[in-house]
Structures are given as C-alpha cells and as structure tokens.
Amino acid sequence: EGLPELKKAVASWFERRFGVSLDPDSEILILIGSKEGLSHVNLAFIDKGDGALIPNPAYPPYRRSVILAGGKVVNMPLLRKNGWQPDFGKLRKGDLSKAKLLFLNYPNNPTGALADKEFFEKVVDFAEENELVICHDMAYSEITFDGEKTISILQNPGAKQRTLEFHSFSKTYGMTGWRLGFVAGDSKLLKALRNVEVTVNSGAFHVLQKAAIVALSLPDEAIQKVRQTYQERRDILVKGLKELGWEVESPKGGIFVWAKIPYGYDSKRMAKLLIEKTGIVATPGVGLGSQGEGYLRFSLIVDKERMKEAVERIKTLFF
C-alpha cells in the first residue's frame, strides 16, 4: 500500500502540482512501478468477456493484461487528424455495452501528444454515459516541451468517482529500475485494486519509498533540466529526419519521436534495415498496435552527441 509518509508526500505534490486534494489513506496507493498497477487493474475490474477500450497504438502491456484477465480488447484508433485522441463516436454500441475500462495515456506513448481540459471533459462525459472506469496513465506527466504543462484528469470536477490515474517515478526522476509508482483516484475503485495488490505483492522497498519522498520535494528547476535534456535530443532528431524528407511532428511530451516512414517501407522492414545498416534500434510502429504500421518510434534516451551521430548514420543510409 505504501508508507504513510510517502502517501502524504504524494498528496501534497498532487495538490501543489494540479490543485487537486487527495486523502492520502484512501485515495492514493503506492505501486511497484506504474506498470504493475496498470496490469492488475484488469484483474480488479474485468470478468471473462468484459471489454476494455485500448488506444491503438499504445504501450503494449494495456492490451496484454486485458487478455490475461480474460477480457476483450476494443481498439480505439489514435489518428493524427484527430490530434492523436480517440474518436468515441466511432465505437460500436455492442462493444461499449460490454466495456468496463477505458485506458488513456497523455503525454502519449508513442505519439507525444498531450491532452487538454476540453478533451478530458469529453472523456468524463463519455465514461459517465457508458459507465466506464477511466484508467489514465500519466507516466510522462512531467516530461513536456516548449513550455507546455500537463493537466491531470482529476482536475475535472466530475472525474474522480470514476477515475484511477497512474503515475510513475521512473521517467521524471530516472528511477526506472527502482520500480516505484502510484495510483490516485476514487477510494472505492482504489479499494478494488488494493485487494489485488495485497494479494499479489507485499509493497515496495522502504528505502526507495523514502528516496521518492525526497524526489517529490525537488524544486521545478531540477525537473526543468530533465525536460531541457529531452527537448534538445528531440530537436536534433526531428530536424535530422525532416532534412531527410521524413514526415515527423515534434512531440509535445514523453520521450519518443513518432515518425512516419517514407519510401513505402513497412515498419518491421525499416526497423530491420536500420539495425543492420546503421546499428540504430527503433521500435516498429506495428509492435504498438495495428494503427502503428507505417511508423517508427525513436527513443530520446541517448545524449546529444550520440543523437547527432544517429542522425548522420541515418543520412548515410538514404543518400
């Protein structure tokens, strides 16, 4: 469940950061990384044959854990023309009547899109109409560019009673291997997830939880350096790919560049070519869902100099 002092630190961070007040005891649960919570939420809410609405493309564990729980994945295509937001109006009535969970993720992996207040209003209305629990994955909440700042869906006054929002210490604080995250939201929904959590694990290592309290107290200038670092890498890669004629948007957040592949290659073929000829590893878009075909996902995890070298190597491949 988490140390009471970490839950208190999370509540005061949430209040400071989003202006949302949460009860540390009943509205926050500490996780061994947000991934395990995002998976276990399916065990808490999905019975055999129930549906879960999953963005496509998306972080793969969402769909896999729905399947592990015996549920049915209902795809919500994320299209560029819709600002990488799902079009709820296109979902079939039959699928909606069986759906229990709605997964969303902003800043989005892989597209780099952010969500705004109007979109979250639509989400809450849609979830209410269809009696869905909203599972919002905000793992990249602090990694935004060009001065953008994310909002939490819990800032929407109607959201809390049907929302669980998942956060991570992995990205903002570079604590990936340490495995720590948290989930915030409605106390009844959290109780259902908590019942699974206390059955399958026994809580995160206390030393890490104490380190997380320190992390949450860091001033924004410290996080600003992280944003700046990713933004510089983003700019080098996006500029390089554009010079090669690739159609690529500058992501507004997250740690990925979602690039449309030119020259008619499919994503697996292009990823293979890149590894074999340049030694660069990029994820084939189709690995993140059928809608990801035709795209490659580049990660911004190497330093500026390596990123420049990567761009030069890609150029040698095409010129």
Ligand X SMILES: Cc1ncc(COP(=O)(O)O)c(C=O)c1O
Binding site for ligand X (CB under 6 A): 33-35, 59, 105, 109, 137, 139, 168, 170, 176, 181
Residue with smaller CB distance to ligand X, 139 or 215: 139
* Residue (102 or 139) nearer to ligand X, CB: 139
- The distance of closest approach from Cβ of residue 243 to ligand X in the complex, given in angstroms and rounded to an integer, is 28
Report the b/e string of 238-271 with b at 16+ CB within 10 A: bebbeeeebebbebbbbbbbbbebeeeeebeebb
- Residue closer to ligand X by CB (options 96, 291) is 291
**297 and 260 in contact (C-beta within 8 Å)?**
no
Q: How far apart are CA 24 and CA 26, in angstroms?
A: 6
CA atoms of 297 and 110, how far apart (whole Å): 7
Closest approach, Cβ 34 to ligand X, in A, equals 3
What's the min distance (Å) between Cβ of 311 and ligand X? Answer: 23
User: Which CB atom, from 105 or from 144, has the smaller least distance to ligand X?
Assistant: 105
From the CB of 137, what's the least distance to ligand X, in Å? 5
Closest distance between ligand X and the C-beta of residue 86, in Å? 15
**Cα radius of gyration rounded to whole Å, the chain:** 20
Q: How far is the CB of 287 from ligand X (least distance, A)?
A: 13
What token pair was written down for 142?
A: 């602090």
Amino acid at the residue 290: S
Residue with Cβ nearer ligand X (3 or 273)? 3
Residue 150 CB, shortest distance to ligand X, in Å, is 13
Which lies closer to ligand X via its Cβ, residue 210 or residue 308?
210
Nearer to ligand X, 22 or 38 (CB): 38
